[in-house]
Amino acid sequence: MADRSADYLDSLVRRLESRPARRLRYRVPALWNAWGFADARKVGKTELELDPRAFLLDCIRREILPRRGNTRMGGRSLSRVQGVVRQKGGRVRDGRQQRRGGDWLRTAGFYGLFVRMTTAWDHDGDGDLSDRRFTETGTFLKSILILPLLKRMGITAVYMLPVVKHSNLYRKGELGCPYSAKNFFELEPTLHDRLLSDDPADVNLEFGAFVEAAHAMGMRVLIDLAPRTAARDADWILDHPDWFYWIDRREERNYAQPYVEGADYLTPPPAELPRIHALPAMRTHRAKFRFAPNVTDPNRWARFARRMKAKPPKNLLAEIGREFGVITPPGFSDVVNDRQPPWSDVTFLRYYWDHPTAVERCLPDPDAQPPYLYSEVMKSSRYAGRKPNRELWQQLAGILPFYQRFGVDGARIDMGHALPDDLENMILQSARRVDPDFGFIAEELGIDHSAEARKAGYNMIIGPAWWMQPRAAEGRFHDLVKDVLPASRLPIWAAAETPDTPRSVTRTGGRRLARMAAAVNHFLPNAAPFINSGLEVLERQPMNLGLDAGPRTRCALKPDDPYYGKLAFFDRFVLHWGNPGGAGMVRLLEDVAAVRERFAADLADASNYVPLKLTTNRKLVLALGFRVERKRRRLIVLANTDFRSARRTSISGLPAGRGPIEVLFASDPQQAPPRHRGRSLAVELGPGSVTALLV
């Protein structure tokens, strides 16, 4: 467990310095060296060979510790370090200003970090991602090395995919999925790096050091929490088997979501429940479930649990199946008639001791029916029971405070809108009791429920940019700016890709779309830019196939690529850090982030946004305008959503007076200079190009 008073970085430096002083031959992508480490030998065009401990110590001493100075940061959020204090009504005082707790998210620049993937590399150059000599999958220790690179790209908030200990049972690929949480209160031991020691328990020190290093660089750290499901062999099972659902183990092979004839809804409305539960398919589905083994035979279960704890088996579920004939069922989508296969590696947690109140009248004998899973059970926010599983709720509400001991600043709550309202509130309030400025992101993929999310206490939603921006050629990017962003009650992630979607470089427009969207996203009103790990090097291979994916989505690489068809959520995967155009994408992000930072205060004030009037190519050229520098000048951002042809446009209705035009940013260095025409401005944009002007 983390120590609140710990200075993780100092401890890490002492440990690294105490290791034997033997030089190691170790390769890293050249882009990782964002601060100019000198003692490195170039290998090929995109790699460096160096001593990893010297490299890491140089990063900490030159880039991180000078920024930290003498400030004690270990175990404290960045808001705590900066002295942000609580006011009445859920507001905080940040310097001389007051704002809603967690609203720092509104002006953040996000980077989505999947530790296992982002800092994976073939360090010994043997062509295989293995752990024979070094820890070659990503680690917290190596993630410290890319913080200077993220700083260059304007990142102020690092969003980490789950870091909890996950299961390897029923895995869908070479590795366990980070969302199959085996123990919410332990860090995943494989994120430990053997450069530090051979003891996986040191992962706590490494995680704490990463958070402290991020804070020193001016970046907050958010984690991903998925409290609705757990691994099918989660550690809680031995002590609390009745916190889970159970089926006859003989039914596992045929277990799936039952099909409801004639359903045209995502979640069944109350009036449909009697018809659904009378269907033969639903009766067959419910009949597969069994009561928890500690309910059917408590004494036998107690003896069994003692044996398993004394000598943990390789496969706990297999032992339970042999002894009691039951097994935890795989999860499946809560969307009615969703055709995706069951989620083999996770199972749902049981939030209520009884059935949903609205369902009891639909069951022949509610007391005789074992707890079962279907859409209405999974949507507890809409279909609650009368008897909450309070002990489980308390455990779930304690997860974020556990990670706050390392200084974590915020969290994304996976499917929070499906949780019981009281449980959702417990989770949010338990974190804000520790840190009133803790930030929350809701997994709302549209804006229809943005008002409810704001009322619940969230500061931001994911939103729909991930599917609208890749359809820029169809006019959806324009729709996002014109209709969606003004209507949302919370800011959204400005991103053309997320960890669950295809990569933007594989969509219509390719590299031009990826570059255009990444640049424009730094200026969208009521939104914050999100850089999905790999976007900065134009990665093609998706991490997962959860959203907007087709049958060929996972085949984005060439067949001879060693990572062809692999998904980072389930397999060993290395980002293509040497991609052609990758270094240029980093420079683009660096340049556009500098413009955003220069006008950060003006962009944060919604009243400064000014819709622009285009006289030509209105459906193809995206235009954003802002009053800046005490409203005396205009920041104008223009983007051509035509990825094949150059387009000209003219902006009318600008303030009178011919001040100088300053080109702050241009993604196309060959772009012709803009020209004044009276109170209009004429601009020519290359295919997919973006420019930012100050007039």
What gap in Å lies between CA 13 and CA 114, rounded to an integer?
24
As given in the structure block, the two tokens for residue 620 are 């193809």
Q: To the nearest 10°, the Cα dihedral for 37, 40, 41, 46?
A: -50
Identify the pLDDT of residue 219: 98
28-37, 87-96, 182-191, 417-426: which range is least confident on average? 87-96
**Between β-strands 690-694 and 633-640, what pairing exists: parallel, antiparallel or unpaired?**
antiparallel
Confidence band for 5, pLDDT divided at 50, 70 and 90: very low
pLDDT confidence bin for 674, thresholds 50/70/90: confident
Give dist(CA 183, CA 519) in Å, integer.
39
Distance CA 530, CA 155 (A): 9
Closest by CA to 570, choosing from 164, 139, 129, 177, is: 177
Distance, in Å, from the CA atom of 356 to the CA atom of 276, rounded to the nearest integer, reads 14
Please give the torsion angle defined by the CA atoms of residues 235, 158, 640 and 601, in that order, rounded to the nearest 10 degrees. 140
| pLDDT of 1 above 50 | no
pLDDT in tens, 487-544: 999 999 999 999 999 999 999 999 999 999 999 999 999 999 999 999 999 999 999 9
Q: Using one digit for the tens of pLDDT, what is the confidence trace for 313-365?
A: 999 999 999 999 999 999 999 999 988 788 999 999 999 999 999 999 999 99
Average pLDDT over residues 570-582: 96
Please check whether residue 101 is in contact with residue 86, taking contact to mean a CB–CB distance below 8 angstroms.
yes
Q: Above 60 in pLDDT, residue 550?
A: yes
DSSP for 273-311, please give it.
HHHHHHSHHHHHHHHTEE--HHHH-HHHHHHHHHHHHHS
464 sits in the region (left: phi over 0; alpha: psi -120 to 50; else beta) called alpha
Distance from C-alpha of 12 to C-alpha of 9, rounded to nearest angstrom: 5
Element (H, E) at 665: strand 662-666
Q: Which helix (H) or strand (E) holds 326?
A: strand 326-327
- Residue 653: pLDDT band with limits 50, 70, 90: confident
Does 397 score more than 90 pLDDT? yes
CA distance 693 to 691: 6
Which of the two residues, 661 and 349, has the higher pLDDT score?
A: 349
Q: What is the DSSP string of 232-283?
A: TT-GGGTT-GGGB-EEEGGGSTT--PPP-TT---SS--GGGHHHHHHSHHHH
In sequence order, what E strands does 66-148 have? Answer: 85-86, 91-94, 97-100, 110-113
* Mean pLDDT of the region 167-178: 95
CA angle, 593 as apex, 591 and 598 as ends, to 5°? 100
> What is the band of 161 on the pLDDT scale with cuts at 50, 70, 90?
very high
Least trusted range by pLDDT, from 366-370, 595-599, 652-656, 683-687: 652-656
- What is the predicted pLDDT for the residue at 3? 46
**DSSP 8-state assignment for residue 340:** S
Residue 310 has pLDDT above 80, yes or no: yes
CB 546 within 8 A of CB 557: no
Q: Which of 141-145, 235-239, 244-248, 330-334 has the lowest mean pLDDT?
A: 330-334
* Residues shown for the chain: 695
pLDDT at 2: 44
pLDDT at position 319: 97
Question: How open is the CA angle 192-197-203, to the nearest 5 degrees?
Answer: 30
Per-residue confidence band for 671, with pLDDT thresholds at 50, 70 and 90: confident
Q: Give the percent of the chain with pLDDT over 90.
A: 87
Beta strands at 613-614 and 647-652: parallel, antiparallel or unpaired: antiparallel
What the block records as the tokens of 77 is 């959020």
Position 646 scores a pLDDT of 95
What sign does the CA torsion over 269, 350, 333, 373 have? negative
Percent of the chain with pLDDT over 70: 99
The CB density around residue 488, as the number of other CB atoms within 10 Å, is 23
Question: For 273-286, what is the mean pLDDT?
Answer: 95
User: Contact, 162 vs 226, CB < 8 A?
Assistant: yes
What DSSP string describes 383-424? S--SSB-HHHHHHHHTHHHHHHTTT--EEEETTGGGS-HHHH
The band of 88, judged by pLDDT with boundaries at 50, 70 and 90, is confident
pLDDT of residue 6: 62
CB 399 within 8 Å of CB 227? yes
| Bridge partner residues of 97 (DSSP) | 94
pLDDT band at residue 656, thresholds of 50, 70 and 90? Answer: low
* Of the candidate ranges 94-103, 169-178, 200-209, the one whose mean pLDDT is the lowest: 94-103
Judged by DSSP in three states, 576 sits in: coil
Domains annotated on the chain, with CATH: 1-228+388-443 (3.20.20.80), 233-348+352-382 (no CATH), 453-598 (no CATH), 605-694 (2.60.40)
What single-letter amino acid sits at 131? D
- Segment 32-41 shows an average pLDDT of 96
Pairing state between β 662-666 and 157-160: unpaired
Task: Supply the pLDDT for residue 94.
Answer: 87
Which two tokens mark 344? 């083999």
Tell me, rounded to whole angstroms, the distance of Cα 177 from its chain centroid. Answer: 14
Per-residue pLDDT band at 657 (split at 50, 70, 90):
low
The residues, ordered by sequence, that sit 6+ positions from 270 with a Cβ below 8 Å of its Cβ are: 358
- pLDDT for 677 equals 73
Tell me the average pLDDT across 592-617: 93
φ and ψ at 584, to 5 degrees? -65, -35
pTM of the full predicted structure?
0.96
What is the overall mean pLDDT for the chain?
Answer: 94
The predicted model gives 564-586 an average pLDDT of: 96
Per-residue confidence band for 673, with pLDDT thresholds at 50, 70 and 90:
confident
